[in-house]
Structure 1
Amino acid sequence: MAFLSALLLVVAFLVGSLPLGHWLLSRLGVNPRLNNTYNLGVENVLRRVGVGPALMSAALDFGKGVLAVLMASSLGSRELCVLAALAAYLGHLNPPRALYGQTSPRGRGNLVLLGLLAGLSVAGGLGLWLTALPVIVYAAAVGYWGYVSAATVLGLLTFAGLVALTPLGVPAKLAALGLLVAATWRFKENLGRILDGTEPRVDEDVPVAGKRADQVVTAFMIHPMTLENFWQARRFSWLKPLVERGLISEASVRQMAASLRPMKVGELHGIKTLEGKEIRCYLLSSPLLPDVFRDQPELATKRAIEGARLAHELGAEVVGLGAFWSVVGNKGVDVQAAVPEITVTNGGAYTSGTIKAAIPGILEHFAQTGRDLKGATAGIVGANGVVAFGIARTIAPQVGKLVLIGRDLERLERSAVSLRRLNKDTEILTTLDYGTLREADLIFSATSDPNPVIFPQHVKPGAWIFDEGRPADVDEGVRDVPGVRIIPGGVVRPPGGMTSQIDLQFGEGAVPACLAETLIIAATGAHERKSLGPQTLTENINFFVEQAEVLGFTVVD
């Protein structure tokens, strides 16, 4: 008897693991990866492929739930039937790779659960009231809130509570509890999105790439710069008071953040080009803090690849790599190679374009204050980098003295040689000492340092600072230096009335230029203009500057 019971549980697991919906959609020529748990289950299939395939997929999942319980009922044990229900559900959620290979992630299994409850009512001997009430609670929750995942958890909570009140044995009660735990764990991302306000309700229109001519779908990867940014997501905000009271260590939170896969934490709404095209943009985050990008580049690249896959599964056609994501995986090259199904960009071209567009205006305004540009000293911070050196090339002919500051003096000197050859009337110095900034009238900074590098002791009164660094290169204390003007670089205002529940730290209605490049690629369909690797083509820079104006993007200065 014990052997037969164990065998039936194994069979129930295997029945539950059958990828029937996957096989069906594949035979119909539909990509199953776009119909998985990251979106919506049956509802998502219904939106993407129509009523017929959705109903067939639902019927197959329902049927295997009924079958698993029906087989277990042959031994006449109600406890075994509940255990078989748990085994079948676990099989659906965790199909063995040895049998099916690397299949797509499964849906949330609501139809499997419904089939299991039907089987328990008809063949498992649990009675209609015990299985119907959870379904009623589920339906009421969906109707009231519109969130399928939360409704499923409430329905299973009801089922587990009812089973606990029956004279069924401990194994059955633990199995009912196991269904609840398994579903809650499976839906943890959906539940987190409910807390963040980004989970779509059943009746909401979920955008799909290519579905509407007047709408495009994009995604953009962000990450917290500090723990304060980490608390922005409401799913994590409950940790803040525990850390402040010393109940949880900051190190534990950082370790947890490094272990989390990418998730959808926000969405940009209201972006519409001058031509009337709506741009939807999902904000994705694997909450790595800046030091992780420096100390664990392999982990950062892995998370970026996972983020690109999530963006594709959410229906985006372009994904942008923001902040420190833009430098991982050979500046996006490895990410694109790993996920060829979606266009990946690090945003470098339009970032360079906004700088190119902003610098003439900055120099003109500086001269209008009565100061002599030819007698001015300009400091370039981060001059070893492509962006900062580009700034140096632009302003070298227009100032009297140029100071290049970086971390590699040999490389700085090589750069200086080329600049001196073209600008014989400009004095050009190289140094690793930030103290030399004290003589600069103009400071241009573009580093990838996670912490500020320019402090009050580095800046003389009245200096102008163009800060392209993200996070900011300029310490907040610099604002207290008399007469100092700090100009943020690479900030763009998209067309329309953009709103977001996530503060991107660029001001209301504004985004970084790398995100704007992601939006422009999607709006124009010019996927070949993506920015990857360390090199940025001049023709691509000019393209984004021109298209930004056509579409209605404006540089904030």
Structure 2
Amino acid sequence: MLFLSALLLAVAFLVGSLPLGHWLLGRAGVESRLNSAHNLGVENVLRRVGPRLAFASAALDAMKGFLAILMASSLGPEHGHVTVMAGLAAYLGHLNPPRFLYGATPPRGRGNLVLLGVLAGYAVTGALPLWATLVPVVVYAAVAGYWGFISAATLAALASLALLAALLPLAVGAKVALTALCLAGAWRFKENVGRILDGTEARLGEEVPLAGKRDDVVVAAFMIHPMNLHDFWSAQRFAWLRPLVEKGVVSEKTVRQMADEMRPMKVGELRGIRTAQGKEIRCYLLSAPLLPDRFRDAPELATRRAIEGARLAHELGAEVFGLGAFWSVVGNKGLDVQAAVPEITITNGGAYTSGTIKAAIPGILKHFAETGRDLGRATAGIVGANGVVAFGIARTIAPQVGKVIMIGRDLERLERSAATLRRAAKDTEIVTTTSYDTLREADLIFSATSDPNPVIFPEHVKEGVWIFDEGRPADVDESVTRVPGVRVIPGGLVTPPGSMTTNIDLQFGEGNVPACLAETLIIAATGEHDRKSLGAQTLTDNINFFVEEAQKLGFQVVD
């Protein structure tokens, strides 16, 4: 009998793992991954595929749970605990199916319909009293109707079922199985709890747009990460950790280790962005909370998380996925990410970032000259001159100033770049160095590094200097602003058209986004996916495209 019980539980697991709804939608030409309740909510599946397919798919999932219970009940009422355990086996099969049934990345549904089929099976076979199977359903309906969150309703229903498991006179095996069933379901909904805390979980009746479903709405996604532990706490789902770390209960090392294990998650949304032509752009903000040093120390982990983020963006219905901050340099600056997830357009935002600099520099130089200073005799410092962006700045301003100081980490590379500048600007003195102390000569400083910490401090600058800071995070320490006459101009910031709102502070000023995010939005709005920025090279033609299209759409560079 023990062997037969084990066999029935194994069969229950396999029945639960059968991708019946997935196959049905696939045969109908629908990509079920984009209609997953995990991402979009059951009511949105109904909108996307229509009532016939939605109810047929739901019925197949419920049937899996019901059939597993019926098979296990064949052992007789004296083995009721096996019947209850079969419900757990079927549910676990649905949540963790063998990969060969779906491929490398199975849809991550929550299995509510399987649970409903399991409860129906319990009621029909007498494994649980009828009233006990109805209680979770009533609780579910009440919470969903009152609060509007399917995830919260499911968790409340599971909690009521766990309470019943403790109170009902059931065999120990049945109690353990029911409790494990509830815990497995609750764990599956942990991401939804985070979204409720962050304010990004969809409610009943709220339509979640999908790429290509409406002509007046486009959907994009953008990957961010915390710059420091303070940013880590800013997400409501992690706020509870802050007092524990401050009191020494949890170490910073533990938090960092925890961050390494977290898959990408949806932490915010940008709404209210509407182009001059009337098209709405919805953007989901995704994050895997790696701190800046992890991108340097664990590049393979960072690339893996970026790929997972691209897949999540695709499942959420986005058609373009932007890599922000240090994500923009992982996987060969996005090339490996695009190769791993060809279903969605990936961009590192380099073209429009360069474009905003190109658009801002003439205005900065003009305003500088209008203050009565002689631009032709001024000294300009270029910080991060080994990089593509900073060298582009140097190439733009070199013919207009008397002296350029190029600062970088690789002196040999700097000299090669300086040789190019000397040929183009023969009347300008070009100096290369790795020392920041030389910045004290500069009247103008342009900085664009990928350093996670500030690199320019008060001892590096003189009074009255103008600093254009393109670094993200900022290259200029806050203390520099206390030096008399210093003006710090943030670079690469853009104000999208419309009235943008967000639930998360991006720390770029109210209504502003970084240029790399704006590039993601522009690609989504124009449909020009071939203009994406990948790899180290940035085409001049693409830079000009984004500058021109941004103006047409209503994006404004902050200067």
- Given the two structures, how large is their TM-score scaled by the length of structure 2? 0.98
CA shift for structure 1 position 124: 3.1
Deviates more, 1:37-46 or 1:464-473: 37-46
Correspondent of 1:137 among 126, 136, 139: 139
Question: What is the match of residue 309 of structure 1?
Answer: 311
CA distance in 2, matches of 1:211, 1:116: 34
CA distance in 1, matches of 2:484, 2:385: 26
Q: Secondary structure at the match of 1:531?
A: coil
Correspondent of 1:168 among 170, 174, 189: 170
Distance 1:222 1:180, change over 3 A: same
Task: Work out whether 1:450 is the aligned partner of 2:452.
Answer: yes
Q: Secondary structure at the match of 1:231?
A: helix
State the one-letter code of the partner of 1:440: A
State the one-letter code of the partner of 1:11: V
Unpaired segments of 5 or more residues in structure 2? none
Judge conservation of contact 1:297–1:328 (CA < 8 Å) in 2: yes
CA shift for structure 1 position 98: 5.4
CA distance in 2, matches of 1:350, 1:102: 34
Question: What is the match of residue 395 of structure 2?
Answer: 393
Question: What is the match of residue 528 of structure 1?
Answer: 530
Deviates more, 1:35-44 or 1:373-382: 35-44
Judge conservation of contact 2:84–2:127 (CA < 8 Å) in 1: no
State the one-letter code of the partner of 1:50: G
CA distance in 2, matches of 1:488, 1:286: 26
CA distance in 1, matches of 2:103, 2:209: 30
CA distance in 2, matches of 1:377, 1:112: 70
Judge conservation of contact 2:38–2:110 (CA < 8 Å) in 1: no
Q: Secondary structure at the match of 1:243?
A: helix
Judge conservation of contact 1:17–1:88 (CA < 8 Å) in 2: yes
State the one-letter code of the partner of 1:366: F
Unpaired segments of 5 or more residues in structure 1? none
* Aligned pairs for 1:424-435 within 5 A: 424-435=426-437
CA distance in 1, matches of 2:251, 2:290: 17
Judge conservation of contact 2:135–2:160 (CA < 8 Å) in 1: yes
Q: Secondary structure at the match of 1:168?
A: coil
CA distance in 2, matches of 1:486, 1:85: 63
CA shift for structure 1 position 35: 2.3
CA shift for structure 1 position 185: 1.0
Deviates more, 1:337-346 or 1:101-110: 101-110
Judge conservation of contact 1:64–1:115 (CA < 8 Å) in 2: yes
Question: What is the match of residue 39 of structure 1?
Answer: 39
- Given the two structures, how large is their TM-score scaled by the length of structure 1? 0.98
Judge conservation of contact 2:37–2:45 (CA < 8 Å) in 1: no
State the one-letter code of the partner of 1:7: L
Distance 1:58 1:99, change over 3 A: closer
State the one-letter code of the partner of 1:142: A
Judge conservation of contact 1:332–1:344 (CA < 8 Å) in 2: yes
Q: Secondary structure at the match of 2:234?
A: coil
CA shift for structure 1 position 44: 3.5
State the one-letter code of the partner of 2:30: V
Deviates more, 1:516-525 or 1:78-87: 78-87
Correspondent of 2:89 among 84, 87, 92: 87
C-alpha offsets along residues 374-408 of structure 1, whole Å, 9 cap, x if unaligned? 11110000000000000001110111111000000
CA distance in 2, matches of 1:273, 1:310: 26
Distance 1:484 1:106, change over 3 A: closer
CA distance in 2, matches of 1:178, 1:11: 19
CA distance in 1, matches of 2:486, 2:42: 58
CA distance in 1, matches of 2:453, 2:109: 42
CA shift for structure 1 position 99: 5.8
Question: What is the match of residue 18 of structure 1?
Answer: 18
CA distance in 1, matches of 2:105, 2:227: 35
Judge conservation of contact 1:492–1:513 (CA < 8 Å) in 2: yes
Q: Secondary structure at the match of 2:281?
A: strand
CA shift for structure 1 position 101: 4.6
State the one-letter code of the partner of 2:490: P
Judge conservation of contact 1:73–1:124 (CA < 8 Å) in 2: no
Q: Secondary structure at the match of 1:24?
A: helix
Judge conservation of contact 2:446–2:468 (CA < 8 Å) in 1: yes
CA distance in 1, matches of 2:62, 2:158: 16
Q: Secondary structure at the match of 1:471?
A: coil
C-alpha offsets along residues 410-446 of structure 1, whole Å, 9 cap, x if unaligned? 0000111111111111111000000000110000000
Q: Secondary structure at the match of 1:267?
A: strand
Judge conservation of contact 2:84–2:178 (CA < 8 Å) in 1: yes
Question: What is the match of residue 506 of structure 2?
Answer: 504
CA shift for structure 1 position 102: 3.2
Number of residue equivalences:
557
C-alpha offsets along residues 101-146 of structure 1, whole Å, 9 cap, x if unaligned? 5362242111110111011011134211110011000110110111
Correspondent of 1:117 among 108, 112, 119: 119
CA distance in 2, matches of 1:96, 1:359: 56
Deviates more, 1:45-54 or 1:29-38: 29-38
Question: What is the match of residue 553 of structure 2?
Answer: 551
* Aligned pairs for 1:47-446 within 5 A: 47-75=47-75, 76=77, 77-97=79-99, 101-102=103-104, 104-446=106-448
Judge conservation of contact 2:43–2:205 (CA < 8 Å) in 1: no
Judge conservation of contact 1:352–1:541 (CA < 8 Å) in 2: yes
Deviates more, 1:74-83 or 1:58-67: 74-83
Judge conservation of contact 1:36–1:106 (CA < 8 Å) in 2: yes
CA distance in 2, matches of 1:483, 1:227: 32
CA shift for structure 1 position 449: 0.4
CA shift for structure 1 position 299: 0.8
CA shift for structure 1 position 40: 3.3
Question: What is the match of residue 2 of structure 1?
Answer: 2
CA distance in 2, matches of 1:205, 1:441: 53
CA distance in 1, matches of 2:165, 2:294: 46
CA shift for structure 1 position 15: 1.1
CA distance in 2, matches of 1:375, 1:4: 91
Q: Secondary structure at the match of 1:486?
A: strand
State the one-letter code of the partner of 1:400: G
State the one-letter code of the partner of 1:268: L
CA shift for structure 1 position 41: 5.3
CA shift for structure 1 position 163: 2.0
CA distance in 1, matches of 2:424, 2:106: 56
Q: Secondary structure at the match of 1:133?
A: helix
CA shift for structure 1 position 97: 2.8
Judge conservation of contact 2:349–2:515 (CA < 8 Å) in 1: yes
CA distance in 1, matches of 2:137, 2:486: 65
CA shift for structure 1 position 82: 1.1
State the one-letter code of the partner of 1:209: A
